[in-house]
Each structure stands twice: as structure tokens, then as C-alpha cells.
Structure 1
Amino acid sequence: MTLSDLAPRRLAPGLTVRPLGVSSGSSRWAPTAPQPQDARLLDALRRALDVGDDDDGAQLLDTADSHRCGHAERLVGKILKEHPSRRVQVASKVGRVQGSAPHPYAGPRVRHQLEQTLENLYLDHLALYTLESYDFGLGDRYLDPVVEQMQALRDLGQIRAIGLRGPGSHSSQRSIRRFLDLFDRIRPDVLWTQASGLQPLADLGHGEDLGAFAVRHGVGLVIASPLAHGVLAGDRVDRALAAWPSAAADRGAVAAAVTHGLAQMAGMFGSSPRALARVALRSVLQRVQNAVLVIGVGDEQQHRYDRGLLGRPLSEQELDAVEEVFARVRSVLFKPEERAPSVGVIV
């Protein structure tokens, strides 16, 4: 079975993509940190673009100027140049790389960075350009000019949709209030966040999570890291500990809970990274039916992203069983006051 059993999903007016896309990496990489080999990342990107037929709809390829300080964008550009006929919609982000400007959003910085991003990617426009940071300078001095620039770029056709990073499951109430204020002032077309079975969509209050919020406001939703940085595909458990710095203090208990949860999943669906990845991805896609997922292709033990990755749909009974496993792991991952609800509601 191919990706086509899940219909393409609408992110913004005129922007519809397959429900499963790919990401070039992580902004957690620092210039001095060990980097994935370029050859491995290029090979993974080539495999990803070979998935599915053109009739399945365009594929979303998510990157950022902060991924390896722009190097990931240049690698993506190399692949796009090799595959000129592929139906790919490219998303990037701005707001973390300052360069020589006094602030990442200062003056015409957004427009200048877009020009550099388009040059890196060999493109004349982006499908989605996301504001990554909530810091718009003292007193939000750069906010209104940035909104004007983003709207102008959309009007000129250099970007098709304006994105805003949404809060994560660990976000404080202050961060959530900040997001809600920025959402009202920016009026984005798409929200971008990180979530998985272990890191649910942010609860915005009054029983509404980020997925339901996106539906209510008629905006798209992109979810990154649905495999919890590879943990849910059977990757190293220590990545879970790094991904949740506010998790329970007993790291041994956290590691044991994640390992036990994966063993339970393996008993139900198979122990291969591919089988575990399918269940983790399906559980999000089937419960959060307005979302498009992007999975990283640069991790050391990245599972193979191929034509049949998603396999058959999960039944309601299987979805419930998977959620029970995730809930038990979350009860150890999070402190009692931080415990999060399910990954999302069916919308």
C-alpha cells in the first residue's frame, strides 16, 4: 500500500501536499557539533523524493536557514536541481540566524534571508515561510515591519503561505499566551510545531489542543519530529532523555519506560524500525487528520523512507492500544504537573 490511501491535505489556499513529507534536519545542530555526513543526507533526500508517484500530489520538503547554518538548504538545493520534474513543495524558516544584522528580524533581514534561501535552493519561491522565533526585539519593535514584509512577499508570489511556530507540549502558560497574541497579530496561514505520541500537541486551554485550534481558525498544521527524534523507530533511548529536559528526574526510570513501551509496541506490530515507525506515524496522522507530518532524514539510524512506509491503516482498536502504551510512557516522562493529554483529537 502506498501513501495514496491518505489523501493529500490542504495547508493553505492553493497549497495541498501529501500527508507525509521530509525534513532536512534539526536546528539543534551547532557548527562545532558532529554533523551527519553530507553523502548520507543527500542519499536519504534522494530516496525521499523517489517515494510515490507524481499523481499522489506534491511532497513537502521542510528545511530552515538554521539547519546546519544554511548548509542543509544548500544540500536540499542540490537534490532539487537533480530532480527538476518532481512535484515538491519546499518550506523554510527564518528568525534564528542573525548574521551581521543587529537582530534576526531587523530591517529588511527577512527579505534578504529569503533571497539567500531561494538562491541556496535554486528556487524562485517557497511554498511556506515560517517565523521561527517569538523574539521581535525590545517592545516588539520589529514585529509590524516583519508582518508587512511577509505579507508583501506573499503578495509578490515569493512565498505562498506565512507560517508561525506553534507552542510545544512543554510550553509555559506565558509562551502559550505569547503565541496566541502573535497569532492574532500575524494571522499566519500555517502553524508549525513538534509533536509525537510521547510529546503531544500543546494544550491551549479550555480543552483545545493545537490541532483543534488550527481547524477552528482554518489554518494548516505541520508536525515535525513525529518519531520523537528517532526514538519511536527504535533509535537510541538516550535521545528521549535529551528531547525532554523537564522529564522526571529519575532518568533510569525514563529510559526503562521508553524501552518497555517500545517492547509492547513490538509485541503488537513487529520489532523492526520500519514497523515501529509505521505505527508511530499512523497514530498521529489518523488522529490529527488536519496535519501534515515531516520526518527527519539526517539522523544516524534513520529508517528507510520508502514507498510502503505507512502500510495499512490502524484499526480503532489498534489506535486505542497504541495510545494506552504512549500514555503509560508519558506518565513517567513528565512530572505529575506536566503530564500531557493524548497526541491530538480526531478532527
Structure 2
Amino acid sequence: MRSRPFGRTGRDVGEIGFGAWAIGAAWGRVDDGESVAALHAALDAGLDFIDTADVYGDGHSERLIARVLKERGGERPFVATKAGRRLPVQTVEGYSANNLEAWIERSLRNLGTDRLDLVQLHCPPTEAYYHPEVFERMERLTGQGKLRHYGVSVERVEEALKAIEYPGVASVQIVYNLFRQRPAELFFRQAERRGVAVIVRVPLASGLLTGKFGPDTRFEADDHRRFNRHGEAFDVGETFAGVPYETGLAAVEKLRPLVPEGATMAQLALRWILMDEAVSVVIPGARTPAQALGNLAAADLPALPAATLEAIARIYEQDIRPHVHQRW
């Protein structure tokens, strides 16, 4: 798998990583044995970037990762975590020095390390990006050696553009996929210019872009694809990329003929993301070894031809753009 520079950190990472939300919570039933096996399979195959958060299963995802890394020993992959969503209500005041330090100390324990590779502010309120003191606190924690780098995970392009004005922000994590194309218009170019790493999340639109769902697909009660379908629990853009479910299903059928021979729709979706050099790493989730290895195989696909890219652009413009483009 090809490696890409992780912004200006001086570190390179494989272009496909492991998104560890699904092994924590909010995606229906999870089997820890399968989760552990998925992580091992991915790492055995050369994966070297894992993304998690302190709220994924209330720390369960972090602890599973620590368990796997302890079992393996040797050189650790780059592990990114997040802090901030433990707040009962999202406010700028909640990102206090005391809270940030407490969250980071908890992640240090959960991940079994004395220094975190990357801590991302976890989708803080838009107003927080206009408060330099929040970023100054992260600078101080970096200076104290608790973390090597810090960044942000954002909901909106506006937030991403504001975040990279702060010179200490090493990375921005953002939703980008076949159904959420706006980040490539301006933000990606600005991130490249400033040397900021870009982590792409929700690359498969919560599974819509696997092509495996239909009108009759049923999701478990503890799966956000059921309980957050309309943004009841958190930003609706995190669920099916904010695209109405039936609209997404119809667009998937139009995309299906574009899948390269011998590949899957999920691999097409991941390879499309990797066509943009501004992307440092894309983090699809996986709950089984087969899913993890299938994701990694997308890196082996050849570049998508111009005709495929043009067809994808038309489908987005006609069917998806009106629902999502200006919202995020």
C-alpha cells in the first residue's frame, strides 16, 4: 500500500487506515473477538494508521486497540484519538484546560501509552473555532509531552477552513465521499498549501456505498443508522452522509455499472477518494477481517478513468448535491 505524507508532521502513513468507531459502539451488535481479529488482519497486511475516540463505546474502542497492540508488541502504528464529545452539552466553555487534560489522561490510560500520536478536538461547536484559547490549550498539552500532534474533526467546510488558520493544527478530519464532495472544492487545496493532513471519514456513507443495502434493510436499535436517521442524537451528516436513505439507494444503483471488474462498490468508493492527493488517509470502518482486508485492497486498484470520474460527477450533481452540498 502506498504511503502518503501526514501533513507537515514528518511522518508518512498508509493511504488506507482503520476507522474504529464501529468496534466501539453505535453500529449494532459488535463481537470483540471479531473486532480484535479485524485489527490483527489489517495490521498484518501492513496497515499503520488507526483512528478512534474516547467516546466510542465509552473508551471500549481505545481499550480494544491497546489490547491488540500489546498482543503484537513491536513498533506501534500511528493511533489518532479524539476528545470533546464527553461533554453532556457542546459549549465552548466545555473545552476548558481542566477538561481537555482529563480527557487526554483518560485516553493515555485506555490506549496504554505515555504519549498520544494525535488528539483531535471531536466536532466542537462552530463557535469554538473562533476562540484561540481553545487551541492554545492544545498547544500547551503538546508542549507538556502528552501528545505529539493535535488536530480537529469537523462537521463543516467552514470549520475546516477556520481551523487551519491556527498554525499548530496538524490535521483535519472531515466527511468526504461520493455523496459528500464539497471539501475538494476549496478546503483540500488550502490544506495542501498549508501542509495540513486530511483524514477522510465516513468514506462509505455509513455503508450505503457498499451497495449491500436495500429498501427493506433493517438496522438494530443501537445502530446510528436507525437512531440517528434524522439527526436525533448527533449531526445527521454522520449518518448516510446526510443523504436521504431512499435517495442514496437510487444513486447507488446508478453507480453500480461503474464498478471496475473484479472490484466491489466499496472499493470503487475508496479508490475515488484516493484520487485526490490532498487526502492523507481514508479511514473506513471494519468489524471483521474480511471487511478490513477488502478495504485495504482498494489501494491496489488502478486510477479511475476519466469517463468514470465524469459519470460520478454527473450522478452527484443531479441526484445528491441538492441535499448536501451547501449544508456542510
Give the TM-score of the pair, scaled to structure 2. Answer: 0.78
Equivalent AA in structure 2 for residue 148 of structure 1: E
- Matched residue, 1:236: 213
Equivalent AA in structure 1 for residue 49 of structure 2: L
- Secondary structure class of the residue paired with 1:44: helix
Aligned partner (choices 92, 96, 101) of residue 111 of structure 1: 101
- Matched residue, 2:68: 79
Inter-partner Cα distance in structure 2 for 1:28 and 1:40: 12
- Matched residue, 2:232: none
The percentage of counterpart residues that share the same residue type is: 25
Inter-partner Cα distance in structure 2 for 1:337 and 1:46: 38
- Secondary structure class of the residue paired with 2:68: helix
- Matched residue, 1:154: 142
Deviates more, 1:158-167 or 1:238-247: 238-247
- Matched residue, 1:216: 193
Equivalent AA in structure 1 for residue 50 of structure 2: L
Would you say the 8 A contact 1:330–1:339 is kept in 2? no
Are positions 1:275 and 2:272 aligned together? no
Question: How many residues are aligned here?
Answer: 305
Measured at CA, do residues 215 and 100 of structure 1 come closer, stay the same or move farther in structure 2, by a change above 3 Å? Answer: closer
Measured at CA, do residues 230 and 95 of structure 1 come closer, stay the same or move farther in structure 2, by a change above 3 Å? Answer: same
The Cα of 1:232 is off from its aligned counterpart by 2.8
Would you say the 8 A contact 2:213–2:249 is kept in 1? no
Give the TM-score of the pair, scaled to structure 1. Answer: 0.75
Measured at CA, do residues 121 and 67 of structure 1 come closer, stay the same or move farther in structure 2, by a change above 3 Å? Answer: same
Matches within 5 A, 1:171-250: 176=158, 178-185=159-166, 187-202=168-183, 208-237=185-214, 242-245=239-242, 247=244
Inter-partner Cα distance in structure 2 for 1:300 and 1:245: 28
* Superimposed CA distance per residue, residues 196-255 of structure 1 (whole angstroms, 9 cap, x where no aligned partner): 12221426xxxx4221110122211111122222333333256698514454xxx64542
The Cα of 1:46 is off from its aligned counterpart by 1.3
Are positions 1:329 and 2:310 aligned together? no
Q: Which runs of 5+ in 2 are unaligned?
A: 216-224, 230-238
Equivalent AA in structure 2 for residue 161 of structure 1: H
Inter-partner Cα distance in structure 2 for 1:184 and 1:279: 33
Are positions 1:36 and 2:30 aligned together? yes
Would you say the 8 A contact 1:127–1:159 is kept in 2? yes
Q: Which runs of 5+ in 1 are unaligned?
A: 53-57, 341-347
Inter-partner Cα distance in structure 2 for 1:338 and 1:61: 28
Aligned partner (choices 293, 296, 303) of residue 304 of structure 1: 293
Equivalent AA in structure 1 for residue 111 of structure 2: L
Measured at CA, do residues 15 and 289 of structure 1 come closer, stay the same or move farther in structure 2, by a change above 3 Å? Answer: same
Matches within 5 A, 1:280-295: 280-295=269-284
Matches within 5 A, 1:132-171: 132-135=122-125, 143-168=131-156
Inter-partner Cα distance in structure 2 for 1:166 and 1:115: 22
Inter-partner Cα distance in structure 1 for 2:293 and 2:203: 15
- Secondary structure class of the residue paired with 1:90: strand
The Cα of 1:128 is off from its aligned counterpart by 1.1
The Cα of 1:79 is off from its aligned counterpart by 0.8
The Cα of 1:269 is off from its aligned counterpart by 2.3
Query: How large is the Cα RMSD of the aligned pairs?
Result: 3.5
- Matched residue, 1:55: none
Inter-partner Cα distance in structure 2 for 1:307 and 1:96: 29
Equivalent AA in structure 1 for residue 96 of structure 2: A
- Matched residue, 1:257: 251
Would you say the 8 A contact 1:164–1:190 is kept in 2? yes
The Cα of 1:163 is off from its aligned counterpart by 0.5
- Secondary structure class of the residue paired with 1:92: strand
Deviates more, 1:148-157 or 1:40-49: 148-157
Inter-partner Cα distance in structure 1 for 2:3 and 2:30: 32
Equivalent AA in structure 1 for residue 210 of structure 2: A
Would you say the 8 A contact 1:126–1:158 is kept in 2? yes
Equivalent AA in structure 1 for residue 204 of structure 2: L
